[in-house]
Amino acid sequence: MKYYSTRNKENKVSSMEAIIKGIAEDGGLFVPESIPTLPELENLKNLSYKELAKLIIGMYFDDYPQEDINASINGAYGEKFGNMEPVKLVEKDGVHFLELFHGPTLAFKDMALTILPYLMRAALLNKGIKQEVVILTATSGDTGKAALEGFKDVPGVNVVVFYPKDGVSEMQRLQMITQIGKNTHVVAIEGNFDDAQKGVKDIFGDVEYNKELKERGYVLSSANSINIGRLIPQVVYYVYGYLNLLKEGKIKNNQEINVVVPTGNFGNILAAYYAKKMGLPVDRLICASNDNKVLTDFFETGEYDKGRELLLTSSPSMDILVSSNLERFLFHISGEDQSAIKDMMEKLTKEGSFRWSDFSKEEIYGEFADEREVSSSIDQMYGGEGYVMDPHTAVAYSVYKKFLKETGDDKPAIIASTASPFKFPDKVIASMGEHIPENLFKGIEIIADAMKAEIPSQVSELERLPVLHRQTCKKEEMKGAVLQLLQGGETND
Ligand SMILES: *Cc1c(COP(=O)(O)O)cnc(C)c1O
């Protein structure tokens, strides 16, 4: 299986090369040249998560020796998830929450960022690459920590994470600035997530700069969902969720379901789309946004317009105006029209918007939920079921309620539950009508009481871990910051 850029199909690379590069040289994103088909689902329903992952990831990354795929999966989905099945499906209020947050950093990003370092390292070894890799990442809060944790102390790899200074939750910030590992670097930028993501994309696209890095012995790669190595491992859990419903007798073989995904950079929902293209019986993909509803407007009107203020919400990992993976989705639904994609992406950069005339609403349903709706969903779910949702999951649940009301389509539904409520205590506490304590860790105790769960050690330890990363920079200074960090210019650890 080869991979090519959404903007130029001539330039084909293997999956190892695509994973090492992260993004294509022409600025496009790597996509598989064909989407493989799943075997008969009935025959898969007794597979463990790891077995299913070996099958699906092996289909896409077929230039890896199968031993490397197996070792990557065993390394990723064992101890790091407490040696349990890494995802859980729980039914509440008639819908099925696919809990994807039981990994080391308590957000769904762990599902891919625990395995990506293994895949990256195997690719570097197989390809005999001598330079050190620099993983450059812009984060809206969760990718940063998951990448730092996944890549810490991996030989031959450095990680640099840029996060928006005022755009992440307190818990997310603490998780990042206390990160250990000699090869980890964390920088707060004076800007929002889109500024950080644009800065990173500019660095990738700067030929001179990349030459200079190469002379110093470095090559760049990405741990954002623009890296195909992030995306494919996410396909697995949608199939796993479906098989779980089948196994428990909640659906019949080949019965269609709907899938709801709280969306930011469009990576997670794109993985669901790939699962559907592989033959998983998914009817509607429901794209849930928060107040930054660029995608909702796009699916409604066909106009993608980033020319608006980015709002800071209680679901910071979705505070995004430029959803990178939409490019891949449009590439596929346009019948792989590379020149149309190139035009639109250029328009988006130059004019801040583009129009997609030929759009079928059957492909995807987009809606958004505002802060009040998110709060009332959290409150109602807790009141009714004693189940605590984090704000991102609550966006998805609120949107699903609207979808049900509008369409009456009550097929069995899976909601991607993307973060643990422990990561976002303030909004959860306020939604339940309680007073937000001054001290973050007092808030954590309230969440633990509500969930009738123990506080995860990843959260409780933050109270006493030393701060190791204090660097900040202006959004125009990211290139310089990277060079300085690689020279060992960071004095704080
Ligand atoms: C990253 C993230 C999202 C958005 O996922 P995308 O793949 O960027 O669309 C939603 N919820 C949480 C908790 C996240 O960390």
Residue 149 pLDDT grade (very low, low, confident, very high; cuts 50, 70, 90): very high
Q: What is the mean pLDDT of the chain?
A: 95
**Cα angle 429-397-194, degrees, rounded to a multiple of 5:** 80
- The pLDDT of residue 492 is 44
pLDDT at residue 187 greater than cutoff 90: yes
Q: Which atom of ligand 1 is nearest to the CA of 142?
A: 15
Residue 141 Cα: closest atom of ligand 1: 15
Q: How confident is the model at residue 290 (pLDDT cuts 50, 70, 90)?
A: very high
Percent of the chain with pLDDT over 70: 99
Ligand 1 centre distance from Cα of residue 116 (Å)? 17
Q: Give the residue from 345, 182, 367 showing the smallest Cα distance to 291.
A: 367
Ranking 9-23, 103-117, 186-200, 346-360 by mean pLDDT, the lowest is 346-360
What are the Cα distances from residue 257, in Å, to 15, 285, 361, 410, 463? 30, 9, 17, 9, 42
Lowest average pLDDT, out of 188-192, 387-391, 462-466, 487-491, goes to 487-491
pLDDT band for position 1 (cuts 50, 70, 90): very high
What domains are there in the chain, each with its CATH number? 85-105+229-453 (3.40.50.1100)
Ligand 1 probe mutation, 176, 392, 395, 398, most atoms within 8 A of CB: 392
Which atom of ligand 1 has the smallest separation from the CA of 390?
13
Which of 137, 142, 259, 399 maximizes ligand 1 atoms within 8 Å of its Cβ, making it the mutation to test the pocket? 142
Calculate how far, in angstroms, residue 274's C-alpha sits from the geometric centre of ligand 1: 17
Model confidence at 489, pLDDT cuts 50, 70, 90, reads low
- Distance in Å, CA 320 to ligand 1 centroid: 10
Strand 282-289 with 257-262, pairing: parallel
Which member of 21, 109, 306, 401 is catalytic?
109
Nearest ligand 1 atom, CA 320? 8
Which segment, 216-230, 356-370, 479-493, is predicted with the most confidence on average? 216-230
Taking CA atoms only, the protein residue closest to ligand 1 atom 1 is 317
pLDDT in the model for residue 345: 95
CA of 200 to the centre of ligand 1 (A): 18
User: What residue has token string 């969440």?
Assistant: 447
- Other residues' Cβ atoms within 10 Å of the Cβ of residue 227: 27
- CA dist list (Å): 101 to 275, 378, 399, 421, 450: 20, 17, 20, 10, 18
Please report the pLDDT score of residue 493 as a whole number. 41
Q: Give residue-wise pLDDT tens across range 21-39.
A: 999 988 899 999 999 999 9
Which pLDDT tens digit goes with each residue over 438-450?
Answer: 999 999 999 999 9
Pairing assessment for the beta strands 184-190 and 157-164 based on DSSP bridges: parallel
Length of the chain: 493
Which ligand 1 atom is the nearest neighbour of the CA of 109?
A: 15
| pLDDT interval class at 490 (50, 70, 90) | low
Residue 44 confidence class, pLDDT cut points 50, 70, 90: very high
| Over residues 456-463, mean pLDDT | 94
Q: Measured in angstroms, how far is the CA atom of residue 131 from the centroid of ligand 1? A: 31
**Is-catalytic flag, 109?**
yes
Q: Which of 163, 265, 424, 428 to mutate to test the pocket of ligand 1 (most atoms within 8 A of CB)?
A: 265
| pLDDT digit string, tens, across residues 397-442 | 999 999 999 999 999 999 999 999 999 999 999 999 999 999 999 9
Model confidence at 92: pLDDT above 60: yes
State yes or no: pLDDT of 491 exceeds 60. no
Protein residue with its CA nearest to atom 14 in ligand 1 = 317
Question: Residue 457 pLDDT more than 70?
Answer: yes
Residue with the smallest CA separation from ligand 1 atom 8 is 265
Q: What amino acid occupies position 76?
A: A
Any idea which of 68-72, 259-263, 355-359, 372-376 has the lowest mean pLDDT? 355-359
Confidence of residue 333 (pLDDT cuts 50, 70, 90): very high
Average pLDDT over residues 185-208: 92
Return the ligand 1 atom nearest residue 101 CA: 13
Secondary structure of the chain in HEC code, one letter for each residue: CCEEECCEEEEEECHHHHHHHCCCCCCCCEEECCCCCCCCHHHHCCCCHHHHHHHHHHHHCCCCCHHHHHHHHHHHCCHHHCCCCCCEEEEECCEEEEECCCCCCCECCHHHHCCHHHHHHHHHHHHCCCCEEEEEEECCCHHHHHHHHHHCCCCCEEEEEEEECCCCCHHHHHHHHCCCCCCEEEEEEECCHHHHHHHHHHHHHCHHHHHHHHHCCEEEEECCCCCHHHHHHHHHHHHHHHHHHHHCCCCCCCCCEEEEEECCCCHHHHHHHHHHHCCCCEEEEEEEECCCCHHHHHHHHCEEECCCCCCCCCCHHHCCCCCCCHHHHHHHHCCCCHHHHHHHHHHHHHHCEEECCCCCCCCEEEEECCHHHHHHHHHHHHHHHCCCCCHHHHHHHHHHHHHHHHHCCCCCEEEEECECHHHCHHHHHHHCCCCCCCCHHHHHHHHHHHHCCCCCHHHHHHHCCCCCCCCEEEHHHHHHHHHHHHCCCCCCC
Q: Give the mutation target among 108, 140, 222 for probing the ligand 1 site: most ligand atoms within 8 A of CB.
A: 108
75-80: average pLDDT: 95
Residue 474 has pLDDT above 60, yes or no: yes
Ligand 1 mean position, distance from CA 269 (Å): 9
Does residue 488 register a pLDDT over 90? no
Report CA(234)–ligand 1 centroid distance (Å).
12
Select the more confidently predicted residue: 85 or 359. Answer: 85
**Ligand 1 shell residues, CB under 6 Å:** 107-109, 142, 225, 262-268, 317-318, 392, 418-419
pLDDT band at 298 (very low <50, low <70, confident <90, very high): very high
User: Which pLDDT score is estimated for 357?
Assistant: 72
- Cα of 357 from ligand 1 centre, angstroms: 27
Instruction: Kindly tell me the sign of the dihedral angle through the C-alpha atoms of 302, 305, 311, 315.
Output: positive
Token duo for residue 447: 């969440």
